[in-house]
Structure 1
Amino acid sequence: MTAKETDDGRPRPRRVGCALISRDLDEPMVGAAGRADAWVLVEHPGPWPSEAPEGIFPDEVVEHLGQPGVRVVLIRRPRSRTVTRPVCFVAATHPAGPWVRRFEIDTYDELLAVDVTAAVAGDRPTQGETHDLPLALVCTHGRRDVCCAELGRPLLPGMAARDDVDVWECTHVGGDRFAANVVLLPHGLHYSRLVDETAAAVLDAYVDGRVVSEHLRGRSAFSQPAQVAEHAVRQLTGITEVDGFEVLDETVSDDGTSARVEIRHRSETFVVNAERTPTPGAPTTHACVRGAEPAGWSSWRAVTVVSPVTDRLTAGRGGILGA
């Protein structure tokens, strides 16, 4: 962000937004991706109200699409504000078989025909056609949180120049304080705190079927403790391939502060114990979000990782599980 000048020519103080605060606090972001088994993306040129898609879709469409396990976002082409027939995508992010389908609509009422329950279950619809090019969603929803627009938009020129990824701007995907945020579909990988160089590295890896763990916030098909478990196993083993992970069992304490996750990659099973703690020094409200509420920032971290096969074990902060 470039500092602007005041009327008398002096540099205007840099805006202190939630993303800068989170960065300065070195707040862990692993395990902070929102949960979603299915995604519905609908092209809309904007402007996007803060609570979009509410305020854009008819109420019955909002209710139909807003089922448990579904994330609905508006999308638009970078630098494009004209739409004739909106493009829509439905994606399922199940690790065993993620997919994307593409179709067009004439009216938003046609979205009532989208079987979101089937998509959550991972069942491929007959509607639309297969979309094989990876989708990259860049959150630029400034009316929701200005940090997303300020940090997300600079990524667009470099990302949109690629021909191996289908790039779109999008509305809120969660984790505003970790902007710039990018979601990669069909796997539902959330990447955060990206700049041009790291965004390029993330996309290079994804089209090659690999994951860059450094900026990975989590996989939307997994719960937050399971996201931490996957990340911890990647750090421990050096696994970079996108596919192959499966959550076998998960137990969360009654107070939601600890969890035990049994996760398998291919033929090897790991048990990860994780804990959730408040973020020291976090602000008391979401200063960037309209209608700010108590922030309640907290983060998950892996405490121990054990493989019954190899008897590998690591624990605590620092080292291979450094938070």
Structure 2
Amino acid sequence: MSDGQPDGTSRRPRRVGCALISRDLDEPMAGAAGRADAWALVEHPGPWPSEAPEGILPDAVLEHLGQPGVRVVLIRRPRSRTVTRPVCFLASTHPDGPWVRRFEIETYDDLLTLDVVTAVVGDRPTAGEPHDLPLVLVCTHGRRDVCCAELGRPLLPGMSARDDVDVWECTHVGGDRFAANVVLLPHGLHYSRLVDETAAEVLDAYVDGRVVSEHLRGRSAFSQPAQVAEHAVRQYAGITEIDGFRVLAERLSEDGTSARVEIRHRSTTFVVCAERRPTPGAPETHACVRGVEPARWSSWRATSVEEIGGC
């Protein structure tokens, strides 16, 4: 008797990916977004190797774009594997006024003219064209982590059918175990564990100038302790508007496991204390990310929120 299919063929065991494990452990997501003050998005139809954008963009271009504070990702239109004239987007996520500029390029060497340093500090360049439609990046980088492709691609049809956002597939944006992962620019908001219904809710809110806290992993312009502080303040005070947050001060312990963050929303200041703790029950050897050694899972958790006044 076979333990496989009715016709006697063997059945492949169900893959247990890192995203399913993290979800079943109810691992907190807040404070787990990657840090980036600016984003350089370069159109490339794929296929994308696991290390992309390395292996795709010339070394000189990677060196030029990869300045401190800049995240470089490859993008492509959903279901499109041909490009006649690539585009590039340069985005600043600076809290004082995030923006996106669009560029058409003939070759990737044209990217050497992009002023990414200006984008990091939030200054608007004169080059390029303003791009006012929100950019939606859906990580589908399966050769990096298969969870991203398996959970990210199903979001594309519903998102792409909208006319109020500009949707792109993209390479690795971090947080593979929280897939499906979506980044909204220009604000640099990372959302995770999305499905069709929650993705639609997140996009509806974003075009309306609001945030859905439940699936928010963090804002890329903030450090991870500040991300968890923003999330905690939103829950504490019921704040849904995107803008208005400023980080006033951060103090991190010497071992990096606790933090005290002073964060202001509009005229009200809050103090949030947070701790970074290992994820109970997390696997020690499981890793979906190809070519990368498994990392010990840990997460930030707010331990207290205090309102200290307004002005």
Report the TM-score when normalising by structure 2.
0.96
Q: How much does 1:309 deviate? A: 2.2
Contact 2:287 2:294 in 1 (8 A): no
Aligned equivalent of 1:318: none
Q: Deviations over 1:180-238 (max 9, x none)?
A: 00000000000000000000000000000000000000000000000000000000111
Q: How much does 1:14 deviate? A: 1.8
Aligned equivalent of 2:67: 67
Q: How far apart in 1 are the matches of 2:266 and 2:61?
A: 40
Aligned equivalent of 1:295: 295
Aligned equivalent of 1:283: 283
Q: How much does 1:276 deviate? A: 0.4
Q: How much does 1:5 deviate? A: 6.4
User: Please, which runs of 5 or more residues in structure 2 have no aligned partner?
Assistant: none
| Cα pair distance change 1:94/1:7, threshold 3 Å | farther
Aligned equivalent of 1:49: 49
* Cα-Cα RMSD: 1.5
Letter paired with 1:258? S
Alignment of 1:1-323 (within 5 A): 8=8, 12-309=12-309
Letter paired with 1:58? P
The DSSP-based 3-state class of the residue aligned with 2:232 is helix
Q: How far apart in 1 are the matches of 2:86 and 2:145?
A: 25
Q: How far apart in 2 are the matches of 1:136 and 1:224?
A: 21
Contact 1:98 1:186 in 2 (8 A): yes
Identity of aligned residues (%): 84
Q: How much does 1:10 deviate? A: 6.3
Q: How far apart in 1 are the matches of 2:11 and 2:201?
A: 33
Q: How far apart in 1 are the matches of 2:258 and 2:159?
A: 38
Q: How far apart in 1 are the matches of 2:230 and 2:294?
A: 29
Q: Deviations over 1:115-153 (max 9, x none)?
A: 111110111111111000000000000000000000000
Letter paired with 1:250? E
Q: How far apart in 1 are the matches of 2:158 and 2:7?
A: 33
The farther-off stretch of 49-58 and 282-291 is 282-291
Q: How far apart in 2 are the matches of 1:265 and 1:96?
A: 13
Q: How far apart in 2 are the matches of 1:210 and 1:69?
A: 25
The DSSP-based 3-state class of the residue aligned with 1:308 is strand
Q: How far apart in 1 are the matches of 2:150 and 2:88?
A: 26
Q: How much does 1:101 deviate? A: 0.2
Contact 1:285 1:292 in 2 (8 A): no
Q: How much does 1:12 deviate? A: 3.7
The DSSP-based 3-state class of the residue aligned with 2:202 is helix
Q: How far apart in 1 are the matches of 2:28 and 2:166?
A: 29
Letter paired with 2:165? V
Q: How far apart in 2 are the matches of 1:268 and 1:83?
A: 48
Q: How far apart in 2 are the matches of 1:224 and 1:287?
A: 22
Letter paired with 2:106? D
Q: How much does 1:294 deviate? A: 3.2
User: What stretches of structure 1 move > 3 A for 4+ residues in a row?
Assistant: 4-12
Q: How far apart in 2 are the matches of 1:281 and 1:127?
A: 50
Q: How far apart in 2 are the matches of 1:50 and 1:286?
A: 18
Q: Deviations over 1:218-261 (max 9, x none)?
A: 00000000000000000011100000000000110110000000
Q: How far apart in 1 are the matches of 2:90 and 2:5?
A: 44
Contact 1:286 1:292 in 2 (8 A): no
| Cα pair distance change 1:60/1:11, threshold 3 Å | same
The DSSP-based 3-state class of the residue aligned with 1:233 is helix
Q: How much does 1:8 deviate? A: 3.2
Aligned equivalent of 1:317: none
Aligned equivalent of 1:313: none
Q: Deviations over 1:242-285 (max 9, x none)?
A: 00000000110110000000000000000000000111121224
The farther-off stretch of 194-203 and 17-26 is 17-26
Contact 2:138 2:170 in 1 (8 A): yes
